[in-house]
């Protein structure tokens, strides 16, 4: 049995295939021990394969609860991580704060060795210097070690020699020539340090989870949309930082392709945050991801996240303005309507407005307390001089503005017109806000999948194993024979890795990419490898920057990349119509026009081809869709809802 589990800040989603039909479950997350929610979610199942999207590493980094790391670098470069690029995110902000450190300055060791930019050994690494380093490590007793020596991407022997000696200490070890064998010392050091910081945390969690799932093959979703084996995730923990959201974006492209839509803006609103991603025919990748202030230069799906979710807490700031998030009530204590604390949240605002029906939450399995939502929001409305309903509507508007800003970040600010894309909406709270976001941005079509409440888990279930390998080569574009030799070297390295983790290279297809730039430029563009890669680069350069030099300036190959993509555990899916759980009825919903009477329809009562118009509430076990006035809808394949604005 194949099962996918996505652990979020508020809920843990389970999606599985039963006789080829997709089914879903949703349980509350257990932040103190995320594995318990997984066991609760798969109760009664005996999984053969389980793909897990986890936020354990992400949360450990954001909360600065990672390992105590010793950082070893070439003597004279001890300040490498602390100096960084000296790039300020807010140029004129005198009060900007540096990101919280993940490394103590006195836990940095400069080892005497030196390799030139051409890869030549200028100062050999002696056994005596290694012994001095080992004595220092024993004095500070770190929980993990990160090694990043100068130019080791060209000549890795010094790092390998050091690794061989340090392995005997018994502390998890990350070396840059294995984590990121690419040039740019700061980015390579930062990525290696993040990996070392998270490895002990992920190793402990995955070991416990593996013990609780005897007999199951456990795989971990990584940031590029594919999955890793447990052993790989323990060694390369930095690849799990966008684990769940990556599954949602990949799943959206797959689901929408069935409906012949490939230009999407994914809108994933969960309990804690909202993730957005612009997909123009294929998944967008970036290697310039900044993880809470630190560069993480591995291939990740280009997803933008804001602290706006169903659990985002509303408050009045010191200037008297209404704000929402980024602080979240999470699963515990949760929104006020959960009955554990009086946190006024976006979920409470939707309850007060009548858009979430308290006795139908999670398919009626959990009764919300509307009176507590009203009490929590009343405390804010009293300060603003507004009624409870007006305050709740204000909270929704502020949250919508925050989320619309995130969509603009990945569309308008990058030269894309959001009106040319479909808003693909999922996450437990997304369908309540989709119409408002579409109106704000002028988007004409909204797509909401039947499994919206646990959609990221769907993406995990149909994700393939995917491995990325890279090598900085420094070649002129005409050096085709040397390039072919490097490709073969990288291919052998990749195949060796697959065999090491128990995977058959014959089951993988390969894609080769080149990082290219004009000689003298500081940054590169990535293009697929082909016979015409120079021409392809110049076309891409013209598209990005409005010009190219058309053969007048030499093109150089900086980094070679190889991606291996395997076969998903599940390659097809379908949704069967379920029995309706209730008869349609009417309720009152508060809008800008005051209270209006709207029909409440069971999603399972629809048949493919049915049409409807707003205002309307459409309810499914884990999702409520608020169809605003001025929108019409139709039910498409797999009971997908398509909403369009009426002219």
Name residue, tokens 């109106």: 439
Confidence of residue 93 (pLDDT cuts 50, 70, 90): confident
Residues 369 and 334 sit within 8 Å (Cβ to Cβ) = no
| 552 and 579, same domain (yes or no) | no
The answer to whether residues 595 and 547 belong to one domain is no
Cα dihedral value 495, 496, 498, 503, nearest 10: 100
Residue at 486 is within a domain: yes
Place of tokens 């999922």: 426
Identify whether the C-beta of residue 496 lies closer than 8 Å to the C-beta of residue 284.
no
DSSP label of 101: P
User: Residue 296 contacts by C-beta under 8 Å, 6 or more apart in sequence?
Assistant: 190, 191, 194, 238, 241, 289, 290
Judgement on whether residues 382 and 348 belong to the same structural domain of the protein: yes
pLDDT of residue 582: 84
80: alpha, beta or left, given left = phi > 0 and alpha = psi -120 to 50?
Answer: alpha
Do 392 and 261 lie in one domain? The reply is yes
> Do 523 and 551 sit in the same domain of this protein?
yes
Read off the pLDDT of residues 405-419 as tens digits, 9 standing for 90 and up. 999 999 998 889 999
Whether residues 295 and 188 fall in one domain:
no
- Based on the domain organization, do 360 and 435 belong to the same domain? yes
Element at 296 (helix H, strand E): strand 294-296
**554 and 412 in one domain?**
no
286 and 180 share a domain? no
Residue 474: partners with Cβ closer than 8 Å, 6 or more residues away: 556, 557, 558
Task: Identify whether 513 is part of a domain.
Answer: yes
| Residue 10 domain-assigned (yes or no) | no
Q: Is residue 506 part of a domain?
A: yes
Three-class secondary structure of residue 257 per DSSP: helix
Whether residues 505 and 575 share a domain: the answer is no
556: nearest Cα among 300, 183, 282, 188? 183
Total domain count, the chain: 3
Choose the weakest-confidence range: 71-75, 93-97, 180-184, 394-398: 93-97
Same domain flag for 459 and 478: no
Position 572 pLDDT exceeds 80:
no
Strands (E), 134-207: 144-148, 173-175
Question: Is residue 421 one of the residues assigned to a domain?
Answer: yes
The secondary structure element, H or E, covering residue 619 is: strand 616-620
Question: Looking at 181, 196, 211, which one is the last position of a domain?
Answer: 196
386 and 249 in one domain? yes
pLDDT in tens, 517-570: 999 898 899 999 999 999 999 999 998 888 999 888 999 999 999 999 998 887
Domain ends where: 550, 565, 580? 565
Each residue of 595-623: pLDDT tens digit?
Answer: 999 999 999 999 999 999 989 999 988 89
State the CATH number of the domain containing residue 109: 3.40.50
Name the nearest CA neighbour of 251 among 270, 226, 234, 272. 226
Determine the pLDDT at residue 218.
Answer: 93
Domain assignment of residue 14, yes or no: no
Last residue of a domain, which of 519, 547, 565?
A: 565
102, pLDDT greater than 80:
yes
Residue 12 domain flag = no
The predicted model gives 152-180 an average pLDDT of 94
Structure confidence by residue, pLDDT tens digits, 269-316: 988 788 899 999 888 998 888 888 899 999 999 988 887 888 889 999
| Per-residue pLDDT tens over the stretch 507-518 | 999 999 999 999
Expressed as residue numbers, the domain containing 477 is: 470-565
Task: Identify the CA nearest to 334 among candidates 317, 351, 310.
Answer: 310
Residue 147 covered by a domain = yes
């Amino acid at each position: 049995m194949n099962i996918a589990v996505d652990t979020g800040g508020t809920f843990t989603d389970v999606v599985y295939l039963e006789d080829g039909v997709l089914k879903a479950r949703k349980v509350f997350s257990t932040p103190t021990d995320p594995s318990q929610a997984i066991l609760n979610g798969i109760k009664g199942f005996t999984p053969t394969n389980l793909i897990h999207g986890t936020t354990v590493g992400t949360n450990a980094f954001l909360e600065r609860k990672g390992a105590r790391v010793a950082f070893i670098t070439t003597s004279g470069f001890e300040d490498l991580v602390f100096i960084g690029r000296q790039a300020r995110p807010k140029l004129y902000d005198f009060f900007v704060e540096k990101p919280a450190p993940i490394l103590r300055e006195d836990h940095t060791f400069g080892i005497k060795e030196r390799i030139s930019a051409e890869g030549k050994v200028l100062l050999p690494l002696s056994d005596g210097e290694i012994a001095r380093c080992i004595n220092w490590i024993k004095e500070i007793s770190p929980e993990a070690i990160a090694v990043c020596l100068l130019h080791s991407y060209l000549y890795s022997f010094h790092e390998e020699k050091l690794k061989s000696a340090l392995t005997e200490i018994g502390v998890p070890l990350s070396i840059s020539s294995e984590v990121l064998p690419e040039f740019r010392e700061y980015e390579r050091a930062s990525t290696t340090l993040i990996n070392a910081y998270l490895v002990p945390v992920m190793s402990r969690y995955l070991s416990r989870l593996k013990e609780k799932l005897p007999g199951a093959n456990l795989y971990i979703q990584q940031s590029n949309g594919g999955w890793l084996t447990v052993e790989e995730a323990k060694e390369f923990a930095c690849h799990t930082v966008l684990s769940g959201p990556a599954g949602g974006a990949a799943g959206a492209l797959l689901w929408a392709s069935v409906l012949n839509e490939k230009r999407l803006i994914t809108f994933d609103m969960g309990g804690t945050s909202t993730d957005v991603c612009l997909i123009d025919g294929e998944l967008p990748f970036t290697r310039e991801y900044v993880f809470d202030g630190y560069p993480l230069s591995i291939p990740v799906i280009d997803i933008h996240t804001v602290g706006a979710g169903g659990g985002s807490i509303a408050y009045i700031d010191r200037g008297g303005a209404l704000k929402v998030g980024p602080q979240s009530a999470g699963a515990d204590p949760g929104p006020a309507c959960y009955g554990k604390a009086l946190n006024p949240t976006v979920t409470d605002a939707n309850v007060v407005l009548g858009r979430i029906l308290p006795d139908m939450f999670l398919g009626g399995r959990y009764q919300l307390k509307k009176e507590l939502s009203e009490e929590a929001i009343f405390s804010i409305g009293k300060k603003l001089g507004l009624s409870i309903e007006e305050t709740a509507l204000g909270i929704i508007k502020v949250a919508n503005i925050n989320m619309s800003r995130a969509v603009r970040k990945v569309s308008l600010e990058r030269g894309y017109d959001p009106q040319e894309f479909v808003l693909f909406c999922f996450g437990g709270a997304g369908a309540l806000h989709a119409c408002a976001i579409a109106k704000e941005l002028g988007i004409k079509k909204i797509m909401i999948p039947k499994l919206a409440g646990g959609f990221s888990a769907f993406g995990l279930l149909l994700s393939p194993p995917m491995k990325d390998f890279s090598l900085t080569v420094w070649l002129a574009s005409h050096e085709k024979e040397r390039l072919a030799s490097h490709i073969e070297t990288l291919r052998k390295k990749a195949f060796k890795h697959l065999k090491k983790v128990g995977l058959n290279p014959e089951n993988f297809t390969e894609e080769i990419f080149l990082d290219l730039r004009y000689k003298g430029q500081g940054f590169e563009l990535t293009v697929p490898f082909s016979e015409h890669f120079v021409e392809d680069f110049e076309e891409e350069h013209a598209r990005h920057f409005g010009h190219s030099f058309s053969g007048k300036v030499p093109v150089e190959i900086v980094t070679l990349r190889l991606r291996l993509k395997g076969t998903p555990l599940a390659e097809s899916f379908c949704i069967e119509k379920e029995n309706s759980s209730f008869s349609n009825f009417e309720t009152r919903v508060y809008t800008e026009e005051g209270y209006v009477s709207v029909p409440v329809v069971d999603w399972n009562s629809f048949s493919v081809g049915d049409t409807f118009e707003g205002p309307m509430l459409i309810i499914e076990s884990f999702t409520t869709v608020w169809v605003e006035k001025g929108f019409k809808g139709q039910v498409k394949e797999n009971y997908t809802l398509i909403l369009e604005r009426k002219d």
